[in-house]
Amino acid sequence: MRNQVLYSIIGAAALFLVNACQKPVVNPPELKLPTTSFTDVSAAGDVVVVDYTLTNGVEGSEIKVDGDYDWAKVTAIKSASIEVTVDPNETTEPRTAEFTVSYPGVTKDLSFSITQEAGEAPAVEATVTIEPTSAEVPAEGVEDGVFVYTISPEGLSWEDLTCAVSYAEGDAGGWATCEEGDLNADGAISYSVEPNEGEARTAYVTVSYPNAEDVVFTINQKAAGASAEYDHEITIEVLIADEYSYTAGEDMDEDSDCYFFYMSEKPVDDGYVDGTAYFVWDIYTPTGTGGVLPAGEYRSTTDSYVPNTFSTANSYVTFIGDENIIYFSEGTINVTKDGDVYTFDAKLTDINGETYHAVYTGEMDFGGGDEPSDEVSYEFEYSYLTFYEGEGQNGEDNFFLALSDKPFDADGYETDGCTLANFDIYAAAGTSGVLPAGTYRFDDYNYTEGTFSVGSYIRTPDKEYIYFSDGSIEVTKSGDDYVFEATLTGSKDGKTYKVSYTGAIAEPEAPSEPVALEMKYHQVMYYEGYDSSESDEFCLSLSDMPFADDYGTGSEGSYVAWLDIYAPNGTSGVLPEGTYNYDDSYTRPPMSFVSGSTITYPGEDYGVRVSAGTIEVSKSADGKYSIEARLSLVDGNDYIVTYTGPVGEESDEPEPVDVTFDISVSNIGVNDFTYSIIPSDKSVSYFHAVVPKMLLEQSNVYVNGVLDDDALLAFDEQTWYPNLDYIY
């Protein structure tokens, strides 16, 4: 019995020892992300909360999140969530950030992504202008009033334009309307005004456009029963004057200074609308005004030079669309001045008895009051770039940059009446059409890297061309914007011209298809052995309309191609057949035409220079020429000029010449030889030719090793000089 008890005790102890040696079971950490993709996060930004679960966490261990984005940052890791702060998206593309989540003891990292919506495109700053800015409406009202608007920059939708009518304080309103929602695509807003049975009143039409300042059109309606004091009440908006509008009395040998200038009811660009009033003034002041019109009253007079008068013999008004010039018979002009702002108030009667009240308010600059400046500045708003790969002297890339104060159309053509600057710029090859930043210096005709050529110019609205003799261009770039600054020296006047432009430069456009010009009329001038050179010169003018004179001047509305062609000496005034290549070396080699060649457009006084091309000349059996000139101009336009017909007078063809010839043969080779034909009267220059023997054998000139002189002359006549009769 004692043994049994002992065994039981030992067994229990052993069991205790076995259980005491076993380790407790420890489960590994487990990390889960219920959601791993967060899409459509607002472009305005947000805080994204990423939930997670962690079981069997280990004391002292922490969740770790990896992801390096400047717009999406982990800002908090809490006990059951991760917070990611997403900044506003200022780009126009959606974006995605990816993050990795890890925890010590978790064998596989987890990940989640956040996708943010694209931001809105930046608003385009717009400008709205209206013409006119006000209207004087009679008491009877108006049903079909209209004013025009312009939205810039181009390409913005007119459909976003709105108008609203408001009234002066205390006015109940309701008597004027604008056609909101019925705005015309041609840029006009209609308005109506009801009849007025009370006092004079005013309404305001406010024109609004997104991201543009409002503009206001003012309607002033006369009181009931009020009659117009004048037959014509005109607000003048434009003064057209310059230093030539002022003449000092001493230059006229008179005791008065003269101011002769123009005024227009509307801006010149819009002024060619039927009914627009256009005034001409001939005003006389005391001497010594120096081009500054004095304030005071000016009375009408006949054609005299009395100070403080205006001449009715030379002062008049005309209305666009009406051919009549209406002179004034009497009146007064009252001129007042507040600082630089004039008020020009004219009350007039014309020769037909009609009355006028014309008022202009603004600056009046006649070139006086300041010392003349030797520096002229142009600041341009629009650009158009044409790119020509590898067109330089040594394969440099060529950029033809046009700048203007008015928009270009889609094909790069400028707006009529604009100020235009063209720059012919050369950069290193391989630009891929992107104008490099840097300094470009003036260089006449080398067309090398870092230069702009003599073909660069400024053209004023009155078609004056300003070319340069020196200067430099600085081009810098910030993002997509360029800063273009040029300091230039005028080749004629020596003045300094400064040109500036800031903004994007239009993407290079491939040159448009060449324009075909079929010419029907010609004039030609021939110069034998021009300037003692090895070439005869042919100045060939071609036009699609008859010429205005004998000097190659084009008729109104015509195109004129002027081609300065050089052929080998000895042509006797007969333009040889063949291919003539463009040459700008000024050496005038045979079979070339030079850079002085031009095409003059309809309505232009000066031609645009040719910059590249070829001229093909052929001649039929009846003596008529076929000419095809493929020409590229410095303004970026390409033309194919064709002409079929005679060149020169028929009587200019050379008569048959009785001559004898000395024939010499030398340098006889295996396959060819050289021969010379020397006419006794020198009617044809010495001629040397290397001819394949095979060709002479086929023509029976070289038979069995013997050269037949007569056959050689016949061969030479047929091959080289078909217009010269050889007598032998």
pLDDT at 586: 73
Integer Cα distance of 51 and 54 in angstroms: 10
pLDDT at 186: 56
Instruction: Compute CA 393 distance to the chain's CA centroid, rounded to the nearest angstrom.
Output: 26
pLDDT at 190: 87
Q: Which residues pair with 240 in a beta bridge?
A: 262
pLDDT at 335: 93
The helix/strand/coil state of 26 is coil
- Name which residue leads in pLDDT, 276 or 183: 276
Exposed, middle or buried by CB within 10 Å (0-12, 13-18, 19+), for 325? Answer: exposed
Give the domain ranges of the chain: 30-116, 127-226, 234-362, 375-503, 515-652, 661-719
Q: Does CATH number 3.30.300.30 belong to domain 127-226? A: no
Instruction: Compute CA 587 distance to the chain's CA centroid, rounded to the nearest angstrom.
Output: 34
Integer Cα distance of 499 and 486 in angstroms: 5
Integer Cα distance of 724 and 656 in angstroms: 6
At 20, the amino acid letter reads A
Instruction: Compute CA 332 distance to the chain's CA centroid, rounded to the nearest angstrom.
Output: 45
pLDDT at 675: 57
If residue 718 lies in a helix (H) or strand (E), which one and from where to where? helix 709-719
Q: Shortest CA distance to 420 belongs to which of 455, 473, 451, 457?
A: 457
DSSP classification of residue 158: G
Q: Looking up tokens 């009350």, which residue turns up? A: 347
pLDDT digits (tens, 9 = 90+) for 186-227: 578 889 999 999 888 999 999 999 889 999 999 988 888 766
| Lowest-confidence region among 185-194, 425-434, 464-473, 486-495 | 185-194
pLDDT digits (tens, 9 = 90+) for 39-68: 989 999 999 999 999 998 888 899 999 998
pLDDT digits (tens, 9 = 90+) for 290-315: 888 999 999 888 767 788 899 888 89
- Name which residue leads in pLDDT, 378 or 367: 378
User: Does the pLDDT at position 674 exceed 80?
Assistant: no
User: Does the pLDDT at position 531 exceed 70?
Assistant: no
Peptide bond just before 153 cis, omega within 30 deg: yes
The segment with the largest mean pLDDT, out of 45-59, 503-517, 581-595, is 45-59
Q: How much of the chain, in percent, has pLDDT values that exceed 70?
A: 80
Cα separation values, 500 from 191, 376, 377, 394, 441, Å: 41, 11, 8, 29, 16
User: Does the pLDDT at position 671 exceed 80?
Assistant: no
Strands 238-240 vs 257-264: parallel, antiparallel or unpaired: antiparallel
Integer Cα distance of 426 and 449 in angstroms: 5
- Name which residue leads in pLDDT, 643 or 511: 643
pLDDT at 86: 96
Contacts of 262 (CB under 8 A, 6+ apart): 239, 240, 241, 278, 279, 280, 281
pLDDT digits (tens, 9 = 90+) for 258-286: 898 888 887 755 445 667 888 999 999 98
pLDDT at 654: 40
| Mean pLDDT value across the chain | 82
pLDDT digits (tens, 9 = 90+) for 382-416: 998 888 888 888 889 999 899 999 998 777 778 88
Q: Shortest CA distance to 674 belongs to which of 707, 723, 652, 640?
A: 707
Q: Tell the CATH superfamily of the 30-116 domain.
A: Immunoglobulins (2.60.40.10)
- What is the phi/psi pair of residue 350, to 5°? -90, 175
Give the global pTM: 0.29
pLDDT at 157: 80
Does 30-116 match 127-226 in CATH topology? yes
Cα separation values, 647 from 105, 643, 686, 713, Å: 98, 10, 25, 27
pLDDT at 213: 92
pLDDT at 6: 42
Instruction: Compute CA 422 distance to the chain's CA centroid, rounded to the nearest angstrom.
Output: 9
pLDDT at 353: 84
pLDDT at 718: 60
Instruction: Tokens for 449, please give them.
Output: 């890297």
Q: Is 234 in contact with 357 (CB distance < 8 Å)?
A: yes
- Name which residue leads in pLDDT, 677 or 436: 436
Name the band, by pLDDT with cuts 50, 70 and 90, for residue 604.
confident
User: Does the pLDDT at position 93 exceed 70?
Assistant: yes
pLDDT at 634: 82
Integer Cα distance of 602 and 556 in angstroms: 7
Q: Is 89 in contact with 170 (CB distance < 8 Å)?
A: no
Name the band, by pLDDT with cuts 50, 70 and 90, for residue 554.
confident
pLDDT digits (tens, 9 = 90+) for 559-568: 999 999 999 9
**SS3 string of 217-275?**
EEEEECCCCCCCCCCEEEEECEEECCHHHEECHHHHCCCCEEEEEEEECCCCCCCCCCC
CA distance between the termini of the chain: 166
pLDDT at 174: 94
| Lowest-confidence region among 215-219, 244-248, 414-418, 669-673 | 669-673
pLDDT digits (tens, 9 = 90+) for 118-159: 998 777 788 998 888 888 888 889 988 888 888 888 878 888
pLDDT at 16: 46
